[in-house]
């Protein structure tokens, strides 16, 4: 098949959305499909089967902010979009932003089958406006993206049952749902990795993700201050983002200076494996690939009980869950596992066994079947209605 993948967010593979998009694109190519990429990543210009639209220009200050949060603001160009879609068997929209909305409109006009990924909760957007607690604002976002993209989709890929339920509850409609994880790549695996010399006498606690309000890394930074082991805890906050200055200010109150660093994909696997435990404090999370990578490496993984996060569903032990945005409760959970090493090891083995369902090859095989089934169904429907 010829599959056009529409990516409002595509750049370096340092965020979950880009990683999910590139994993899907590479797998579909390996399966023999011709994959056209429609995006606004200027670095990909002149690459085969890549169609690059311009970026919106809002001036230096706003452009710098957009760069920090890792979002590409694509400016749809009708000619380029039509060229990317013309002759395609399926148009797959990764995000319901400006480029995805425009592509959905063109594909619908041309009667090209549309599939869409669900990779954005309403709160991912409203949190930047400090409106994530306002239910009306979140419902408006969901209704807007449904009306502009998802109502036209012949199939919708949800990474978790949680986010499907959240979306359908807000738009008050059933959708053509297909649920499968984005998966964890085979190179992410448990392996013996010694700690760097400077961390040998420390308890290394890792968290990974964009430094942003909804990722709630501040809860972890505050929690360490209440830990009985605070003098030995070495925090590693792997990532980057707009909250970095604030987080570094919080970090000054800790006896051991945390590490703030963006690691390469290969480095990240080593960091996960030499860490003593992983904490995913996010309040808003529709899947959490970083969390799944830690689980796949057999790490003791602590998650928030937030009603807006899917990661609480990954806990294999209720003692791995803390009360959302409650630093003292998180400190208690951390201290329990540090002081019970035998139980910690047993729990890590449970996580490792649980991780097999997130094998990426298995998940991508299911995605391939998803595209094939949508294509065959729409083809049959056209023949019946001809």
Superfamily of domain 2-183+359-385: Glycogen Phosphorylase B; (3.40.50.2000)
Q: Are 162 and 310 in contact (CB under 8 A)?
A: yes
pLDDT confidence tier of residue 365, bands split at 50, 70 and 90: very high
Q: What pLDDT, in 10s, does the model give residues 95-122?
A: 999 999 999 999 999 999 999 999 989 9
66-99 burial code (b ≥16 CB/10 A, e <16): eebebbbbbebbeeebeebbeebbbbbbbbbbbb
pLDDT of residue 70: 55
CA dist 150 to 107, 114, 287, 309, Å? 12, 9, 19, 21
Query: Cα–Cα distance between 146 and 299 in angstroms, integer?
Result: 37
Find tokens 């001809």 and name the residue: 386
Q: How far apart are CA 176 and CA 374, in angstroms?
A: 10
From first CA to last CA, the distance across the chain in angstroms is 22
Could you say which DSSP state residue 184 is in?
B
pLDDT, the chain, mean: 92
- Rounded distance between C-alpha atoms, residue 359 and residue 355, angstroms: 7
Output phi, psi for 158, to 5 deg: -105, 130
State the CB neighbour count (10 A cutoff) for residue 214. 21
Question: Residue 283 in contact with residue 216, Cβ under 8 Å?
Answer: yes
**pTM for the full model?**
0.87
* pLDDT greater than 90 at residue 65: no
CATH 3.40.50.2000 residue window(s) in the chain:
2-183+359-385, 197-358
Residue 69 in this model has a pLDDT that exceeds 60: no
* 323-350 residue pLDDT tens: 999 999 999 999 999 999 999 999 999 9
CATH entry, 197-358, from 3.30.1360.70, 3.40.50.1400, 3.40.50.880, 3.40.50.2000 = 3.40.50.2000
Tokens of 8: 């409002």
Instruction: State percent of the chain over pLDDT 90.
Output: 79
Range with lowest mean pLDDT among 53-62, 159-168, 185-194, 363-372: 53-62
Question: Tokens representing 206?
Answer: 């890792």
Query: pLDDT-derived band of residue 147, with 50, 70 and 90 as boundaries?
Result: very high
pLDDT at 57: 76
Do residues 184 and 354 lie in contact, with contact meaning Cβ atoms separated by under 8 Å? no
């Amino acid at each position: 098949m010829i599959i056009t993948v529409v990516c409002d967010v595509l750049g370096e593979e340092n965020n979950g959305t880009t990683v999910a998009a590139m994993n899907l694109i590479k797998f579909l190519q390996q399966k023999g499909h011709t994959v056209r990429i429609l995006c606004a990543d200027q670095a990909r210009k002149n690459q085969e089967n890549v169609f690059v639209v311009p970026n919106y220009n809002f001036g230096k200050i706003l452009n710098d902010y957009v760069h920090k949060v890792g979002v590409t603001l694509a400016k749809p160009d009708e000619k380029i979009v039509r060229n990317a879609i013309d002759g395609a068997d399926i148009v797959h929209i990764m995000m319901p932003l400006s480029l995805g909305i425009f592509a959905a409109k063109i594909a619908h006009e041309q009667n090209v089958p549309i599939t869409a990924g669900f990779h954005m909760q309403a709160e991912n957007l409203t949190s930047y406006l400090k409106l994530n607690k306002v239910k009306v604002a979140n419902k408006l976002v969901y209704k807007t993206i449904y009306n502009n993209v998802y109502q036209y989709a012949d199939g919708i890929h949800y990474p978790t049952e949680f986010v499907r339920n959240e979306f359908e509850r807000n738009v008050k409609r059933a959708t053509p749902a297909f649920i499968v994880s984005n998966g964890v790549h085979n190179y992410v695996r448990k392996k013996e990795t010694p700690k760097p010399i400077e961390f040998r006498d420390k308890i290394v606690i890792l968290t990974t993700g964009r430094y942003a309000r909804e990722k709630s890394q501040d809860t972890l930074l505050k929690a360490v201050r209440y830990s009985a082991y605070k003098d030995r805890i070495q925090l590693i906050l792997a990532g980057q983002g707009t909250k970095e200055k604030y987080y570094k200010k919080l970090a000054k109150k800790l006896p051991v200076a945390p590490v703030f660093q963006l690691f390469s994909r290969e480095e990240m696997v080593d960091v996960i494996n030499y860490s003593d435990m992983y904490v995913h404090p996010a309040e808003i999370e529709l899947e959490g690939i970083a969390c799944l990578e830690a689980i796949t490496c057999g790490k003791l993984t602590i998650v928030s009980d937030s009603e807006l996060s899917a990661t609480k569903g990954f806990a294999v032990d209720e003692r791995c869950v803390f009360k959302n945005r409650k630093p003292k409760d998180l400190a208690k959970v951390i201290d329990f596992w540090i002081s019970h090493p035998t139980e910690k090891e047993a729990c890590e083995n449970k996580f490792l066994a649980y991780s097999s369902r997130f094998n990426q090859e298995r998940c991508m095989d299911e995605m391939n079947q998803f595209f094939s089934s949508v294509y065959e169904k729409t083809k049959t429907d056209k023949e019946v209605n001809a």
